[in-house]
Amino acid sequence: MFAINEQFSKLSSNGFENILRLAQISLDSGERLIKQQFELSKQALEDNVQIAQELAGISDPQQALNHINKVFSQSFEKAVQNSRGLYDIVSQTQTELSALTEDSLGRINKSLLSSLDTLSQHSPAGSDAAVNAIKSSFAAATATISSLTRAAQQVAEFADTSVKAASSATADAAKAPTKRSAASQA
């Protein structure tokens, strides 16, 4: 009985540690997001002041239009970079949460296996078949969870690669019209 109470106490302690770690991951992620947002706001204000000053000094409408196109292209590139930064923060948070979940599930599995072993040692004669059926079910469930976890990781990696490729393609596509329009005006 003492060993079972000790196992539940350890499981409770691990659960509490996981909650604290989850809170820490969430706070760190929120802090990074807020810091990025603050920096973006600060940079946008500085950029807008600079753009207004530059446009105020331009008297030729064609030159003003060219400048506005250049500013638009630069703004678009910055937006793509900022979305990459946001995606990186979210992706890193997801990775940390996945690692925490895997670690927790591993500890719970070990604890349950230990409890099942203790149960089989203290079970009445003839109950071996029932205990073995429980162990077999538990092993099948663990294998299924492991397969699903691997599949989810592959999907996350694919999504990460796709998002990075799409953002690069978008940035390249945004640069191309600007280069073409600059060449045609020269």
- Predicted confidence (pLDDT) per residue in 47-72, tens digit: 999 999 988 888 888 998 898 899 88
Work out whether the CA dihedral 144, 145, 150, 154 comes out positive or negative: positive
Of all residues in the chain, what percent carry a pLDDT higher than 90? 20
pLDDT value for 50? 92
How do residues 23-53 score in pLDDT, each as one tens digit?
Answer: 999 999 999 999 999 999 999 999 999 999 9
**pLDDT value for 103:** 87
Q: What is the chain's mean pLDDT, rounded?
A: 82
CA–CA dist 130, 132 (Å, integer): 5
Q: Per-residue pLDDT averaged across 89-111, rounded? A: 86
Q: Is 142 left (phi over 0), alpha (psi -120 to 50) or beta?
A: alpha
> What is Dmax (Cα atoms) for the chain?
98
Provide the pLDDT for residue 175.
Answer: 66
| Amino acid at the residue 167 | S
User: What integer is the mean pLDDT of 128-156?
Assistant: 81
Distances (CA, A) of 97 to 34, 59, 87, 110, 184: 19, 55, 15, 20, 51
Distance CA 60, CA 55 (A): 10
pLDDT of 124 higher than 70: yes
- pLDDT above 50 for 186: no
Q: Domain extents for the chain? A: 15-185
Distance CA(186)–CA(85), nearest Å, equals 35
Residue 104 pLDDT more than 90?
no
pLDDT of 143 reads 83
Q: Any residues with CB less than 8 A from the CB of 175 and at least 6 apart, and which?
A: 73, 77
Burial class of residue 107 (count of CB atoms within 10 Å of its CB; 0-12, 13-18, 19+): middle
pLDDT confidence of 93, banded at 50, 70, 90?
A: very high
What is the spatial distance between Cα 165 and Cα 168, in angstroms, rounded to a whole number? Answer: 5
What separation in angstroms does the CA of 91 have from each of 36, 153, 169, 170? Answer: 15, 12, 20, 20
User: What is the band of 178 on the pLDDT scale with cuts at 50, 70, 90?
Assistant: low
Which tokens in the block code for residue 145? 């969870």
Contact assessment for residue 156 and residue 94, using Cβ atoms and an 8 Å cutoff: yes
| 63, amino acid identity | Q
Q: What are phi and psi of 126, to 5 degrees?
A: 90, -5
Q: What is the pLDDT of residue 174?
A: 64
pLDDT at 39 (0 to 100): 94
When mean pLDDT is compared over 77-81, 113-117, 177-181, the highest value belongs to 77-81
Mean pLDDT of all residues in 79-106: 88
Distance, CA of 113 to CA of 120 (rounded, Å): 10
